[in-house]
Chain A
């Protein structure tokens, strides 16, 4: 018998995300993000769900994360529901110039009672459509020429066990800090500085 690793207050996830369709993709960089989200709820939720779209401005630091928008979704009775989450494109002023072109990530997270229970990530490729621009990208990125392509076919879903009945405080690992508080730093903070080598997290390789 496996000893129960969960406290009595933890119960089965009440919300299951069934599908996320990426709309308007690929699209110009400045277009709003649109995700059509389908989810199923086991029982009526007394509180709203909070959904966020987080744009990872730079792979190098969470400092450049931008919360594009956050919406409350509710009321949520038991059943299957869908909605479209639309959020404006990222503020280009907050993206390190060196990271404007290339691959990054957009995250959709959902929290209930302040606890994140699902995180859906997509790789995003920002690329000049013009082959000449592609070969010779300008030093200062030209966002009007960039095309955003979300790799919709390969969502990466991570689910977290949360306490659906109570509040965040009772969970041990619920230090769920709003990334928005970090996202508003000026871009000049770390303008494309090469990150120190050898700081690769331990767990990044050993799983191979």
Chain B
């Protein structure tokens, strides 16, 4: 056994009442008294475990401290899943904390200690019901409930899935309730109180199961806490302070009949805390020894007011080890690591101790499977909690494939939430740096101008603050429990930190206005004075002012303090100054260190004033030095306005009268690349020669280095091409189409009005004429897909113009309008269909971020993405700013995703369809929409048995539907709730494959 007292784990000497190690073993929490409040601190475990980590200054020791409790914190407990920390204190409150994973390190504003909070834990719920100090809190197995007990004689059971909902309040104790423990099987909860009783309550009906009083009848209420504990096999409950023959003991209560025949004896004073090791052990097999089957046993640590700690194995009659004088005051709390080999103990004296055991000492810990086997042997399967539907984690996985996906999901989650949380955090910043397309920096730049300021009825200024983030509270719903946390605007502090530091460095650089130009003018600056004036940190002074920082305004103003210049005072100050320099910098906020600095400055200040007065030089020039600054400040603000206006005007194309589309002007010559792979260049030269009175134009094409050219009898206005076809429109409204080798494919097509836009894609040609009519031809089949269709339908507004047009690889024409809407012409329905609307509120509010492909998140590329553009990205983030309730947001996202799917389908964009289908399925799985999911699967699977009557197409957009379904199954497999659905469709797919 190794013993260590990490001195750096401290609440500045104040008592530490509680300690708890995080389930992943990487950190631990302490709770206790702070300066003038309660304090919860989270510490890094690594420096406790390894000496080299302790010495390494780059490894943080303290991860976070929270001063939110108004009074002493009596208990801190991590939830079993490690996501939450619950704390209870003398302020009658239970607070539940959650890590804000995307917030970087930050200091507490105004705290002079530069110790940054490496992790950010935010209070997500405050549970108020107790009318007295909260003494102990405990999470039930699987984190279904949180229990808290108080000096108000009650125990409150909170619904941990729906904070702050209260399940029940257990009344019956007639004294201060000072300890709680859940039965590991979840059937009972036990409490111990100052009323000389230990009570066991049933979780089934929250009624009293048994009341044990005999061992406690002699007990006085002398201990701060009575933390009792239940053994991991559920067979024994061990109390804190009990008495046997006038000696303090820890009473062992057997589950079977609640018999009280045994106890742990030996402590000289009352037992404050008992804590079972989470592991069940079996005897270590000795090398060469015959493998004797040995009975598994448990291990238990007992802490007492006598300042000593004993560790017991239930297989031994005597304690394994007793450590005396570990602390100066009573032991308050004990926590085992999940491995069962380490133990943290904290004391009223404000210190903690860590004990490290070896397998030789404790034995071989059983693995979880063996432990479950023991549970099942004793209690049978039925005892695992099955009460709530939320209890998915105990659902038995029936399908091996399902198990695989579940494990994958867990692995991914673990990788993300590891010690550094690197996986999650590395992907986060880019998402966080923008808000609704606007960076925080932009918001800040214009905040003063943008913020809404009004006058109240009595003429006072009233500012409406800009809400930059909502709090991520209340997301305890099971649906979100497993999803990636979305932390609104949480990049704030990390962005502000550099800003703050640059503020200060700026302040130092321009220290007191001593600029380089001035320096050159100073011929012989007095040394003393330059010393005094070079750094901004010299500003601090004036002791007299310090009181102003900390005191509220007084009703009776009086002379508060003065700068003292008497020799006596100076001498005193000097002495103090020397003392202060030897002190460590460990103070916070309004502390003496700062005051010292202030006094030092005070000294220099009085001297400086004297210097200034003695030097009776003359003040002449540079009067205007101060002035130009103001002008400089003003100019950069006004600049953006003057510059932006013309550039914006230039960017938008000149508006055209309705239904008269702009036409390109004729150029003498132009060239363009129409295809990358193979690389095809077009070169047009108009009026190359005049033959028999008519001008000829030349079209030259270079395809992978091979060239061809042809002549046209009129000037070429515009040209377009793809890898398959080349199309040119001439001034005489003729459209000519050539093959990739220069062969004319169609006789010239006569258009009614001049060409406005011409596109080629694959073997399709699209023509948009100045008369706002659209045609698309399939050159290969020599058919028209769209016949001279008018844009009148979509260009209803007087001011709308065509801002973009394109032709997809599948021959679908797409028109983007200046109104932000994009349409495509669906040739099978013969209608215009809306595929994208930048002003759509669904786009703004849909939030499917958690459903994006996790690995590399390739943003889909295709006509839909082109038309929706970056607007879509903004939409993903907008949700964090809007205050839409969850269910509304859910519906909006669903509607948006279905729009996307339909649009991709209409555009015949197979890749985009697949991309959105996967996101859609992921969203349905996350949100638990079973009906939609089932319908989707049914449609993709189609009829298993072929019959002539079915109109089911086996493919969509060239994608095999059953292949798509096969891709969706892993997604469905990630939610255990859908395991029946998963199994059903998996089996049918297997069936079809074997056919």
Chain A residues with CB under 8 Å of chain B are: 1-6, 8, 10-13, 17-28, 31, 34, 36, 38-40, 42, 48, 56, 59-63, 65, 69-86, 102-105, 107, 116, 119-121, 123-125, 127-138, 144-147, 149, 151-158, 160-161, 173, 175-179, 182, 194-197, 199-201, 204-205, 207-208
A153 x B617 contact (CB < 8 A): no
Is there a chain A Cβ closer than 8 Å to B467's Cβ? yes
Is there a chain A Cβ closer than 8 Å to B955's Cβ? no
Which B residues lie within 8 Å of A23 (CB)? Answer: 448
The main secondary structure of chain A at its interface with chain B is mixed
Query: Using a Cβ–Cβ cut-off of 8 Å, how many residues does chain B contribute to the interface with A?
Result: 121
Known contacts A6-B70, A103-B539, A84 near B469 by CB under 8 Å: no
B630 x A28 contact (CB < 8 A): yes
Which A residues lie within 8 Å of B612 (CB)? Answer: 134-137
B626 x A145 contact (CB < 8 A): yes
A56 x B559 contact (CB < 8 A): no
Is there a chain A Cβ closer than 8 Å to B69's Cβ? yes
A157 x B109 contact (CB < 8 A): yes
A59 x B563 contact (CB < 8 A): yes
B463 x A177 contact (CB < 8 A): no
A63 x B460 contact (CB < 8 A): no
Give, as a whole number of angstroms, the nearest-CB distance from B441 to chain A: 12
Since A76-B465, A103-B545 are in contact, a sample of 4 more A-B pairs with Cβ atoms closer than 8 Å, ordered by chain A residue number, is: A59-B562, A69-B461, A154-B594, A197-B562
The 8 Å CB contact of B596, one of A27, A146, A178, A208, is A208
Q: How many A-B residue pairs have CB under 8 A?
A: 332
Q: Which residue of A lies closest to B122 (CB)?
A: A40
Which B residues lie within 8 Å of A72 (CB)? Answer: 456, 460-463
Which A residues lie within 8 Å of B68 (CB)? Answer: 12-13
Give, as a whole number of angstroms, the nearest-CB distance from A202 to chain B: 11
B469 x A80 contact (CB < 8 A): yes
Query: Bound state CA distance, A83 and B448, in angstroms?
Result: 7
Query: Bound state CA distance, A8 and B617, in angstroms?
Result: 65
Query: Bound state CA distance, A81 and B618, in angstroms?
Result: 51
B500 x A59 contact (CB < 8 A): no
Report B502-525 CB contacts with A as 1/0, cut-off 8 Å: 011001001011110010011001
Among B572-621, those with CB < 8 Å from A are: 572, 576, 579-580, 589-590, 592, 594-596, 601, 605, 609, 612, 615-621
Is there a chain A Cβ closer than 8 Å to B30's Cβ? no
The 8 Å CB contact of A201, one of B507, B560, B609, B629, is B560
The 8 Å CB contact of A131, one of B469, B518, B540, B555, is B518
B560 x A107 contact (CB < 8 A): no
Is there a chain A Cβ closer than 8 Å to B625's Cβ? yes
Query: Bound state CA distance, A83 and B451, in angstroms?
Result: 7
A157 x B589 contact (CB < 8 A): yes
B589 x A207 contact (CB < 8 A): no
Give, as a whole number of angstroms, the nearest-CB distance from A20 to chain B: 7
Which A residues lie within 8 Å of B626 (CB)? Answer: 28, 129-130, 144-147
Give, as a whole number of angstroms, the nearest-CB distance from B633 to chain A: 7
The 8 Å CB contact of B557, one of A48, A62, A81, A157, is A62
B456 x A208 contact (CB < 8 A): no
A125 x B622 contact (CB < 8 A): no
Give, as a whole number of angstroms, the nearest-CB distance from A1 to chain B: 5
Query: Bound state CA distance, A134 and B611, in angstroms?
Result: 11
The 8 Å CB contact of B559, one of A25, A138, A144, A195, is A195
Which B residues lie within 8 Å of A28 (CB)? Answer: 626-627, 629-630
Query: Bound state CA distance, A34 and B463, in angstroms?
Result: 14
Give, as a whole number of angstroms, the nearest-CB distance from B575 to chain A: 10
Query: Bound state CA distance, A63 and B558, in angstroms?
Result: 8
A153 x B503 contact (CB < 8 A): yes
Known contacts A82-B447, A83-B451, A131-B518, A12 near B91 by CB under 8 Å: yes
Is there a chain A Cβ closer than 8 Å to B993's Cβ? no
Query: Bound state CA distance, A69 and B633, in angstroms?
Result: 23
Is there a chain A Cβ closer than 8 Å to B547's Cβ? yes
Q: Which residue of A lies closest to B553 (CB)?
A: A179
Which B residues lie within 8 Å of A196 (CB)? Answer: 559, 562
Query: Bound state CA distance, A204 and B529, in angstroms?
Result: 28
A132 x B560 contact (CB < 8 A): no
Give, as a whole number of angstroms, the nearest-CB distance from B132 to chain A: 8
Is there a chain A Cβ closer than 8 Å to B224's Cβ? yes
Give, as a whole number of angstroms, the nearest-CB distance from B824 to chain A: 40
A77 x B560 contact (CB < 8 A): no
Q: Which residue of B lies closest to A54 (CB)?
A: B553
B513 x A147 contact (CB < 8 A): yes
A1 x B90 contact (CB < 8 A): yes
Among A70, A75, A76, A123, chain B packs the most CB atoms within 10 A around the CB of: A123
B468 x A154 contact (CB < 8 A): no
B557 x A182 contact (CB < 8 A): yes
Is there a chain A Cβ closer than 8 Å to B956's Cβ? no
Is there a chain A Cβ closer than 8 Å to B828's Cβ? no
Which B residues lie within 8 Å of A205 (CB)? Answer: 572
The 8 Å CB contact of B619, one of A138, A149, A182, is A138
Is there a chain A Cβ closer than 8 Å to B92's Cβ? yes
Query: Bound state CA distance, A179 and B467, in angstroms?
Result: 30
Q: Which residue of A lies closest to B178 (CB)?
A: A1
Among A25, A26, A146, chain B packs the most CB atoms within 10 A around the CB of: A26
Complex A-B: 17 CB contacts under 8 Å: A11-B91, A13-B68, A23-B448, A60-B559, A75-B464, A79-B467, A80-B467, A82-B465, A103-B540, A125-B512, A129-B625, A130-B623, A136-B618, A156-B594, A157-B111, A197-B564, A208-B595
A131 x B547 contact (CB < 8 A): no
B554 x A62 contact (CB < 8 A): yes
Which B residues lie within 8 Å of A36 (CB)? Answer: 444, 447
Q: Which residue of B lies closest to A83 (CB)?
A: B465
Among B518-562, those with CB < 8 Å from A are: 518, 521-522, 525, 529, 533, 536-537, 539-550, 552-555, 557-562
A145 x B461 contact (CB < 8 A): no
Query: Bound state CA distance, A136 and B847, in angstroms?
Result: 65
Q: Which residue of B lies closest to A111 (CB)?
A: B552
A130 x B619 contact (CB < 8 A): yes
B549 x A78 contact (CB < 8 A): no
Known contacts A80-B468, A125-B539, A130-B623, A208 near B576 by CB under 8 Å: yes
Query: Bound state CA distance, A72 and B471, in angstroms?
Result: 22
